[in-house]
Amino acid sequence: MNPGKLFIQVLSRQRRFKIYHESVALFCAALLTSLGRGNRALSVAFIGARTMRALNRRYLEKNYVTDVLSFSYEGVIMEDRPFLGEILIAPEAAVNHATRYHACPERELRKLLVHGVLHLLGYDHETDRGQMKRLQARLLRRRFFMNSPVLADLKVNR
């Protein structure tokens, strides 16, 4: 086992947006390293809005499309590393959210990755009195967040 090497699986199970798998993996690697979790495995999947709605309804009993879900797998080993879990992102929901709030869709996608990783690490913005929100804000100002390669082409593929 190489403790400094990360294993990050990136999948795209949607066809609307082009995802740059290597850039997503590098971004997540920089994020995990900055959090002192360099010896971790992680899975990130980009899924369609319909699938996200079904998963949100099934697991959280919320019948709407959300932009990100995280599923922790504590105690699981993948590629000889502790497996943090899975982050599911609906790029369509992220783009819609960014458009609604006049934000950059690429920045919104990065923010969702940070948010998902923090949830996998045990943070919960609904119960932690602002701790996750403060840490997320600090991470959003870091160099790796601002200067990483483009993660996706968030214009609609036709």
Question: What domain range is 125 assigned to?
Answer: 7-148
Does residue 43 fall inside a structural domain? Answer: yes
Q: How confident is the model at residue 151 (pLDDT cuts 50, 70, 90)?
A: very high
| Per-residue model confidence (pLDDT) at position 158 | 43
Helix (H, G, I), strand (E, B) or coil at 115: helix
d(CA 151, CA 95): 13
Number of domains in the chain: 1
Domain for residue 62, yes or no?
Answer: yes
Q: What separation in angstroms does the CA of 46 have from each of 31, 100, 117?
A: 18, 20, 15
Out of 9-18, 59-68, 70-79, 113-122, least confident range: 70-79
pLDDT given for residue 127 in this prediction: 85
Q: Is residue 120 part of a domain?
A: yes
Residue with tokens 């969702």: 112
Q: Is residue 157 part of a domain?
A: no
Does residue 125 lie within any of the structural domains? yes
16-59: pLDDT as tens digits: 999 999 999 999 999 999 999 988 999 999 999 999 999 999 99
Report if residue 86 sits inside a domain: yes
Q: What is the CATH number of the domain that holds 95?
A: 3.40.390.30
Q: How far apart are CA 89 and CA 79, in angstroms?
A: 23
Q: Please report which confidence band the pLDDT of residue 69 belongs to, taking 50, 70 and 90 as the band edges.
A: very high
Entry pTM: 0.91
In the numeric block, the tokens 């009195």 are attached to 129
**Token digits for 40?**
């971790």
16 closest CA partner among 43, 46, 60, 59? 46
Query: Does residue 2 lie in a domain region?
Result: no
52: nearest Cα among 71, 80, 26: 71
The answer to whether residue 52 is domain-embedded is: yes
Element (H, E) at 143: helix 143-147
pLDDT in tens, 88-120: 999 999 999 999 999 999 999 999 999 999 999
